[in-house]
């Protein structure tokens, strides 16, 4: 079974998109408005779910498959260390948003650079390794755990968040990675609800 990493890549793109929106809002003096703060809170939640699932379930599965392979184990150590470097930057941006600190633009730039470096490292090295060593059953178990953590309410935000602002061609490809019932729920219920939340002044 070939693992379909489409939702993983789409998540990475969504993280980059949200931080770009935050940077623009900071530059335009809108960082303290309700829609921007709501978008930031959702970004933090999605990133927390993503990284927690990787640390608690995905990386251990990969470690079990690469036991004795020093270079690959070092790569997994890097993934976890990079997660740890991102967390303090999230806290710093949070604090700067709350206090309207003058260093907010610098902190947002640092977070964008650090997260983007991590995502690129994961895409260039960790995802190919996963594709090599994980079985279809491994991936089904991981994604099942992720769905369990999210729950239906979480999925109702996660799926439209993935395709927020995505062009028609890529949108169809991303949504095609989900079962038909999820696509129907997204079209009929979730998309409208997501838009009404007004993340980043979504139109």
pLDDT tens, position by position, 76-94: 999 999 999 999 999 999 9
pLDDT at residue 7, as a whole number: 94
CA atoms within 13 A on the CB side of 173: 12
169: its two tokens: 């061609």
Low pLDDT (below 70) residues in the chain? 1, 202-203
Measured CA angle at 44 (ends 73, 130), to 5 deg: 25
- The burial class, CB within 10 Å (0-12 / 13-18 / 19+), for 18 is buried
**What is the tens place of the pLDDT at every residue in 133-166?**
999 999 999 998 888 889 999 999 999 999 999 9
pLDDT at residue 1, as a whole number: 63
Tally of CB atoms within 10 A around 58 = 25
pLDDT at residue 201, as a whole number: 82
Domains in the chain, please, with CATH? 6-150 (1.20.120.520)
pLDDT at residue 149, as a whole number: 86
Tally of CB atoms within 10 A around 70 = 8
What's this model's pTM, rounded to 2 decimal places? 0.95
Rounded Cα–Cα distance for residues 185 and 155 (Å) = 10
129: its two tokens: 């390794």
Which residue in the block uniquely carries the two structure tokens 């999230």?
90
pLDDT at residue 148, as a whole number: 87
């Amino acid at each position: 079974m070939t693992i379909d990493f489409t939702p993983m890549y789409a998540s990475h793109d969504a993280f980059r998109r949200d931080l770009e929106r935050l940077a623009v809002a900071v530059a335009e003096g809108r960082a303290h408005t309700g829609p921007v703060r709501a978008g930031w809170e959702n970004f933090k939640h999605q990133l927390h779910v993503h990284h927690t699932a990787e640390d608690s379930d995905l990386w251990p599965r990969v470690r079990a498959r690469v036991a004795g392979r020093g270079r690959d184990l070092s790569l997994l150590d890097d993934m976890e260390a990079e997660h740890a470097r991102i967390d303090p930057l999230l806290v710093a941006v949070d604090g700067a948003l709350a206090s309207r600190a003058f260093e907010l633009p610098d902190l947002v730039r640092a977070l964008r650079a650090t997260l983007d470096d991590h995502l690129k490292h994961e895409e260039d090295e960790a995802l190919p390794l996963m594709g090599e060593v994980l079985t279809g059953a491994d991936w089904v178990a991981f994604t099942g755990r992720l769905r369990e953590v999210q729950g239906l309410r979480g999925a109702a935000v996660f799926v439209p968040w993935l395709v927020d602002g995505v062009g028609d061609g890529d949108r169809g490809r991303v949504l095609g990675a989900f079962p038909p019932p999820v696509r129907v729920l997204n079209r009929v219920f979730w998309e409208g609800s997501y838009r009404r939340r007004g993340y980043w002044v979504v139109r």
